[in-house]
Amino acid sequence: MLAMNFRGPFRVRADRNRPMPEIKHPQDAIVRVTRSCICGSDLHLYHGLVPDTRVGMTFGHEFTGVVEELGPGVQNLKVGDHVMVPFNIACGVCPFCQQQLFGNCHESNPQATAVAGIFGYSHTAGGYDGGQAEYVRVPYANVGPTIIPDGMDLDDAVLLTDVVPTGYQAAEMGGIQKGDTVVVFGAGPVGIMAAKCAWLFGAGRVIVIDHIEYRLEFVKQYAQCEAYNFKELGDVVEFLKRTTGWYGADVCIDAVGCDAAGDAFQSLVGRKLPLTGGAATALHWAINSVKKGGIVSIVGVYGPLDTLVPIGNVVNKGITIRANQASVKRLLPILIDHVMSGRLNPKAIISHRLPLEEVAEGYHIFSAKRDNCIKPVLIPPRANA
């Protein structure tokens, strides 16, 4: 079958000779992929920043597909169902899944206890091949895959598997109270969604910080928020203090993670060498920009190594930090309602639709931010079979 094949940092190819996935467990399903996104966090893999990313792996954790085959233990799906597949692989029965922490499942990743299994996201996240392929193996198919509701656009559905829940949970973890000033660091797809969702929680003012001009323009329109280019601000923290009456933001959201620009030292030790878990520039700014007693919400992805953050300021300011991988299954019911009622329009962030055969170009366009790219979606040749 055709699938993306990782060959090393900044090198991927569409490979027609990948083996077909097989049922390995009674609760497995084989899904024929109909849409698959390239996620901003895939770029961390593509840039070589996630340890134990092996050559030959297929990435892709945001996808929809049609159920082609089921293991004998799957009761909740039938062959032919068109499903959206949450990026977290969750057993549904461990204490974490029982408490709706589906992004923290204990029975899907042997390689690391700190993170649940994630499709196509290195062996640090379980060693699963992902959805940038014609077919994919979906474990625990009774739990994660959710039938796409009648009338939902496929392009909306695929974005409900990661980017929308992650943006929504970023805002949710902010504990936003009506009238709060919320600062979102990062105008990538997750940051855009976080800004949009902040209004659903009653934010009084939403500010987005980034340095890519076309993305700032987009988020300003899409999320009806303020957007500023940090390269034009001088000291970002000082600007945010000034614009909040020297008080600090009520809530700061890090929607960037380990690939952040904006600080030469962080970039050197976190991205170029890399000696830390990533360039924590956005998180550093978030901690220093939030008010005393404020909340910092982190959905940006960092590597497992130590990361440079001003932890002393967290203590001295009494900041609450809330962070997690999005619990997609928990959030799907409310997000499906928001999409079907028109309150959220995820597909508007899709800027590129590419055939799976052009996966290398897709990664390059997204990584290098060419052609005003915001969100690329890959369409496999058998999507309409």
User: How many residues in total does the chain contain?
Assistant: 385
Q: Does 221 bind other proteins (CB under 8 A)?
A: no
> Is residue 63 within 8 Å of 32, Cβ to Cβ?
no
Q: Does 355 bind other proteins (CB under 8 A)?
A: no
Contact with other proteins (CB under 8 A) among 2, 30, 39, 101:
101
Q: Does 86 bind other proteins (CB under 8 A)?
A: no
The CB-of-33 to other proteins minimum distance in angstroms stands at: 16
- Phi, psi (degrees; rounded to nearest 5) at 169: -65, -30
**Cα within 13 Å of Cα(77), Cβ side:** 33
**Distance (Å, whole) CA 126 – CA 252:** 31
Q: Does 81 bind other proteins (CB under 8 A)?
A: no
The CB-of-53 to other proteins minimum distance in angstroms stands at: 6
Residue among 377, 378, 261, 366 nearest 10 (CA): 366
Contact with other proteins (CB under 8 A) among 110, 179, 202, 333:
110
Which residues ranging from 123 to 162 are in contact with other proteins (CB under 8 A)?
123-124, 126-129, 139-140
Q: Does 108 bind other proteins (CB under 8 A)?
A: yes
Q: Does 113 bind other proteins (CB under 8 A)?
A: yes
In degrees, rounded to 5, the angle at the alpha carbon of residue 118 between the alpha carbons of residues 114 and 123 is 70
**Token reading at 164:** 């929308």
The CB-of-188 to other proteins minimum distance in angstroms stands at: 18
Residue among 47, 48, 31, 11 nearest 89 (CA): 31
For other proteins, which stretch binds (CB under 8 A), given 77-85, 146-154, 207-215, 358-366? 358-366
H/E segment holding residue 167: helix 163-173
**Distance (Å, whole) CA 336 – CA 146:** 11
Q: Does 51 bind other proteins (CB under 8 A)?
A: yes
Query: How many Å separate Cα 264 from the centre of its chain?
Result: 25
**Distance (Å, whole) CA 248 – CA 262:** 20
Contact with other proteins (CB under 8 A) among 205, 226, 360, 382:
360
CB nearer to other proteins: pick between 12 and 339? 12
Cβ neighbours for 306, distance < 8 A, ≥ 6 positions apart = 276, 277
Q: Does 169 bind other proteins (CB under 8 A)?
A: yes
Contact with other proteins (CB under 8 A) among 272, 368, 381, 385:
368
CB nearer to other proteins: pick between 34 and 124? 124
**Distance (Å, whole) CA 200 – CA 195:** 10
The β-bridge partners of 61 are none
Which residues ranging from 31 to 50 are in contact with other proteins (CB under 8 A)?
48
Q: Does 26 bind other proteins (CB under 8 A)?
A: yes
Longest CA–CA span in the chain (Å) reads 61
Which residues ranging from 258 to 287 are in contact with other proteins (CB under 8 A)?
274
Q: Does 117 bind other proteins (CB under 8 A)?
A: yes
**Token reading at 76:** 């909740």
- Interface contacts to other proteins, rule CB under 8 A: 7-13, 24-28, 48, 51-58, 73, 89, 91, 93-95, 98-101, 106-114, 117, 123-124, 126-129, 139-140, 169, 172-173, 274, 303-305, 320, 322, 324, 327, 330, 360-365, 368, 370-371
